[in-house]
Amino acid sequence: MRSARGMHLIRLLALIALAVSVALLVNHVYPNARFCAYGSGCDEVQSSAFGHPLGVPLPVVGVVAFGAIFGLSLFPAGPSLRLLRWLSWGAGAGGLALLLIQVVLLRLLCRYCAVVDLSAVAMAVLQLVWGGRAGPIPEARGRPLWLAAALAALGLGAAGGALGSRADADNGPPPPEVTALWVPGKINVVEVADFDCRHCRRMHAVLRQFLAEQGDRVHFVRLTAPMPVHPQARAASRAFVCAREQGKGDEMAEALFRASDLSPEGCERLAAALGLSVPAFHACTAAPATDAHIDGDVAWVKVVGRGALPLVWVQDRMILGVQPIEVLRSAARAAEESDRR
């Protein structure tokens, strides 16, 4: 009886880990800053080298491993039972190692990853406690119920990963910091980005294509809001603000989005390559007024965007996260129709 209960718990833990792994995988394919917000550490953990062992995203490993564990748990006898034990122990060891990496090395915690890791550790413990007592093969009539539960877990995981990925943030009218930048007679587009944010870089590529399509119909303004979890973001934001003072903000932004080295020294090299006055650039990046200006933007962006980037306004429509170009096109058409009324 105890071994049967243990097997049921292992299946349940596998389904929990599977559902969360699917959610993380959906978020990896379609990045959503609301799902993996800055404050949670989720984005940093997933983006670290530990989040891609041998180049494979950890959510893929999780989906395969926990899917296999769940499948084997439905036939706990003979070779299947032995393989289930080894997979559970391996998952538990991996989960414990990943928890230690987050806490000790990265000093960040991805709450979704922690759910997966703790589930894996719990499965390993159950195997150690009850693994010696082979659970009975479940009755055939019981398997469809577990398979239905697996389908539900997959669906819930996919829905959870996509939750909040829609373009609109439903935060009402644009803040005055945005409307103050508008030019009458144009489609006004305002981007807020962190140059060290991978989601911002992806959305910027989409935005660049959109701006090239729209041409002179659009008035575009870029703002920067470095987030604390990105150690090089502050230096990059200073570089952008100071390059803008010398009339080369757009050129610097493009260079920053492409660069891998966003340290103060790396940004200064970019400034020199763009032909900026390096002494003036250096003085600007060191000036307290530059940080004060950046901090002012960070303050209101955190409130309006709930700590998530990238943010793009197309006229009065706020677009959050990485979105396809058609979302921008639709917002531009809506802005034109509104002006014609």
Whether residues 294 and 155 fall in one domain:
no
- Whether residue 120 is contained in a domain is answered as yes
Q: Are residues 239 and 317 in the same domain?
A: yes
Task: Name the token pair of 141.
Answer: 């009539």
Q: Read off φ and ψ for residue 264, nearest 5 degrees.
A: -55, -40
Q: Kindly state whether residues 108 and 253 are assigned to the same domain.
A: no
Order of strands across the sheet that contains 187-193: 218-224, 187-193, 311-314, 317-320
Q: Specify whether 117 is located in the same domain as 222.
A: no
Alpha-carbon gap, residue 279 to 97, rounded angstroms: 47
Provide the angle, in degrees to the nearest 10, between the axes of the packed helices 2-29 and 78-100.
50
Domain-embedded: residue 258: yes
User: Which residue among 162, 188, 211 closes a domain?
Assistant: 162
Q: Which of 139, 162, 185 is the last residue of a domain?
A: 162
CATH number at residue 91: 1.20.1440.130
**Would you say residue 276 lies in a domain?**
yes
Which of 116, 137, 162 represents a domain boundary (last residue)? 162
Please state the domain count of the chain. Answer: 2
- Is residue 147 in some structural domain? yes
**Are 224 and 294 in contact, with CB atoms under 8 Å apart?**
yes
Both 129 and 26 in a single domain?
Answer: yes
Residues 185 and 286 grouped into a single domain: yes
Per-residue pLDDT tens digits of the chain, which is 341 residues long: 356 778 889 999 999 999 999 999 887 776 655 566 544 567 667 767 788 888 888 999 999 999 999 999 888 777 888 899 999 999 999 999 999 998 898 777 888 999 999 999 999 999 888 765 544 545 556 788 999 999 999 999 998 887 654 444 445 788 999 999 999 999 999 999 999 988 889 899 999 999 999 999 999 999 999 988 788 999 999 999 999 999 999 999 999 999 999 999 999 999 999 999 999 999 999 999 999 999 999 999 888 876 678 889 999 999 887 788 999 999 999 988 876 66
Shared domain for 8 and 126, answered yes or no, is yes
CATH number at residue 182: 3.40.30.10
> What is the residue range of 56's domain?
2-162
Same domain, 186 and 81: no
Is the domain of 200 the same as that of 122? no
> Is 171 inside a domain boundary?
no
Question: Looking at the structure, do residues 234 and 291 belong to the same domain, yes or no?
Answer: yes
192 and 323 fall within a common domain: yes
Distance of CA 56 to the CA centre of its chain: 16
| Residues 26 and 151 occupy one common structural domain | yes
Answer yes or no: pTM beyond 0.85.
no
Helix ranges (DSSP H) in the chain? 2-29, 42-47, 58-73, 78-100, 111-130, 143-162, 176-179, 198-214, 233-245, 249-258, 264-273, 278-286, 288-305, 325-340
Residue 169 included in any domain: no
Q: Is residue 127 part of a domain?
A: yes
In a domain, 167, yes or no: no
